[in-house]
Amino acid sequence: MCGICCVVTLCSQHATHDFFNEDILCHLRRRGPDSSQQLIKTVPDLSYECLFSGHVLHLRGLVTPQPLEDANSNIFLWNGEIFNGVHVGDLENDTEVMFHHLALCSSEEEMLSLFSSVRGPWSFIYYQASRHVLWFGRDYFGRRSLLWQFSNEVNSAFCLTSVSVYSESGHQWQEVPASGIFKIDLKACTATKSWSLTLFPWKYSCTEKAVEEIFIHVLDQVSKDLPNHIRVVMNESKLCLRAPVIPLNKTISEASGQCPGTNISNITHTVSVETLQDFLAEEHKKKLVCQFIDILNEAVKRRVLSLFRAEDQETREVPSMSNRKAHIAVLFSGGVDSMVLAALADKHVPLEEPIDLLNVAFMLKEQAKQKGTSKNRTSREVQLDPLCSQASCQDLDAKTRARFSCFDVPDRITGRAGLKELEAINPSRTWNFVEINVTPQELKKIRQQRITHLIYPLDTVLDDSIGCAIWFASRGEGFISNQGELKPYRSPAKVVLTGIGADEQLAGYSRHRVCFKKYGFEGLNKELEMELDRISSRNLGRDDRIIGDHGKEARFPFLDEDVVSFLNSLPILEKADLTLPRGIGEKLLLRLAAKEFGLTASAILPKRAVQFGSRIAKLESNSEKASDTCSRLKSFSVDEL
């Protein structure tokens, strides 16, 4: 995880520092706490100037400060992880590896081939000095944030950054579309005193007709929200990046005869673990589930082992359990997505290393009102209310534990139940169930100070609810149980696994059932195809900015390219059967996988979105719609920053 930023000016009268916001610099440093530096490239002959700002979170190989510059004055900023496709040695840093490969590219085709081969999340900025060209872009799913801003003045500045700052006035930021890779010819732009972007889009097929259709569609999507004076054009050679996944299989009838759903319809009105066992008794289904487990297992393995573990370098002796710190955390509700990720992580994280299970809860509204109106509260009670997020809290007695019942939201209850299942699977592992509790007062304060800026430029009620829940969860500050007592704890894990992508591919959301009832399997296929197409703008840029604010890196096993290709290869009925009840039909394949490697009650828990499971949605107006613009994200005091 890194924070990367680039500012370019085309006019010698404007210095890049004039457009580099100090508040943005602060946000970037939080993303990359291990190294921060800047580099300014001035080209007097062409009257343009570039500022590059790099902020590194060290996770692999040696600490590699950014931006990198080579002997030919090429400059590189990289916010990504290479999990496959390009070889990165155990002691190598992927930023250096990518920069080395880029320097060897002698043509646009070779550069596109390089980025097409990378498996893993990335965003990048690359300045090619000899050609006066700036390249930038995001991976196919948009798993790493990148924003852009164009000044209203035609000959002024262009800015790219991982994270920005919300402003009610001035120039607006937008997410760089994850539509492909962009190129800016700075020499040509300087000559015309205008900005022109060349796009190299992602594609599935090589047919001429398909490429033409892609160009028309993508150009329209990219151009529609840009200022009128910004041109976006397709590259003259009609070159494309190869999509890292296969297209969605939209066949419907192929698997229907092989799916036992119709055969057991009479017994599925009562959802039970035995129902899953009935599916697994069928040979074809069992084989399919085992294939899925193997592929998802490899995805999790790559994400929990691609990490620098300092203590392993210091001694070959295994430290005592009590002295080990967690390197891996899971955003954990006890639902099937997070349970599967935790169980698979357990197979690969060294046994002596704890795994942190981050479980967030927002104070139930009724208790919040009672506490706010109580006249007999002591200052000590006031201090404890935010669940003692301050490390100064002392050990908590039974009475204090009882007072925490106001945080017993649905995800807390299922999380504790999930913990017991994981402890049964591997009692030798230290499972740190981190109870992260948030009061309305703390929520309001942190939303204004930090979260508003991280969610921006998104602005809906849904973005607010999910963004706030993920921010507090990924911070990892709460309590863990130690010999029956709750003690303050802050997760040191730099890698946070999240289950995003499971619902989008396996029909996990309630809207998928609505769509299925209206339009059948054909309509559901179209809905699932749209889910992945929009996941970059709907979820991933926001989640990357939110989690990265803690100097942590979000990793998405369900969006591993091999996992997505496997799921895309299957007909819909092999993945989900929405003729079956909630808790079985949605994410059926994942539930069967959970049952196969030992999970029980969590395998049949119905989907519950984080905003409802954590109860943050209950703190706000019941009349709000998820798609409404959220006023809470727009009303704050700059003085509080």
What residue spans of 88-138 are helical by DSSP H? 94-104, 108-117
**Residue 140 burial (C-beta neighbours within 10 Å; 0-12, 13-18, 19+):** buried
pLDDT reported for residue 207:
56
Mind giving me the DSSP string for 555-593? E-GGG-HHHHHHHHHS-HHHH--TTSPTTTSTTHHHHHH
CA angle 343, 610, 441 (to 5 degrees): 120
The total number of residues shown for the chain amounts to 641
pLDDT reported for residue 105:
94
CB atoms near residue 407 (< 10 Å): 23
The CATH H-level (homologous superfamily) assignment of domain 2-242 is: Aminohydrolase, N-terminal nucleophile (Ntn) domain (3.60.20.10)
Instruction: Name the 3-class secondary structure at 258.
Output: coil
The dihedral through the CA atoms of 356, 358, 359, 362 has a sign that is positive
Of these residues, 2, 50, 406, 515, which one is catalytic?
2
Mind giving me the DSSP string for 357-369? EEEEEE--HHHHH
Note the pTM of the prediction, 2 decimals: 0.90
CB atoms near residue 73 (< 10 Å): 12
Q: Write down the number of H helices and E strands in the chain.
A: 23, 21
pLDDT along the chain (641 residues), means of 10: 92 76 93 95 90 95 94 97 94 94 95 97 97 97 96 78 82 91 95 92 72 82 87 92 95 54 45 90 96 98 89 43 84 97 98 97 70 42 34 46 78 96 96 96 94 94 95 97 88 97 96 95 96 94 97 98 97 94 95 94 90 82 83 61 39
Q: How far apart are CA 590 and CA 601, in angstroms?
A: 14
pLDDT reported for residue 155:
57
Q: How far apart are CA 314 and CA 304, in angstroms?
A: 20
What residue spans of 347-455 are helical by DSSP H? 365-373, 379-384, 398-403, 410-425, 440-446, 452-455
CATH number of 265-312+324-640: 3.40.50.620
Q: Where are the domains of the chain?
A: 2-242, 265-312+324-640
CA angle 558, 306, 480 (to 5 degrees): 75
Q: How far apart are CA 221 and CA 226, in angstroms?
A: 10
What residue spans of 21-165 are helical by DSSP H? 22-31, 94-104, 108-117
Please state the φ and ψ torsions of residue 486, each to the nearest 5 degrees.
-85, 125
- Beta-sheet strands, E only, within 229-376: 231-234, 241-242, 328-331, 355-362
Report the DSSP beta bridge partners of residue 554: 496
Active site residue 2: yes
What residue spans of 59-134 are helical by DSSP H? 94-104, 108-117
Report the DSSP beta bridge partners of residue 35: 56
Are residues 195 and 482 in contact, defined by beta-carbon separation less than 8 angstroms? no
Please state the φ and ψ torsions of residue 635, each to the nearest 5 degrees.
-115, 105
CB atoms near residue 322 (< 10 Å): 7
The first and second tokens of residue 95, run together, are 């930023």
The first and second tokens of residue 570, run together, are 């299957």
pLDDT reported for residue 401:
57
The first and second tokens of residue 506, run together, are 């396996």
DSSP state of 620: S
Cα 394 off chain centre by: 34
CA angle 327, 96, 535 (to 5 degrees): 60
Instruction: Please choose, from the candidates 305, 300, 343, the residue with its C-alpha nearest in 3D space to the C-alpha of residue 327.
Output: 305
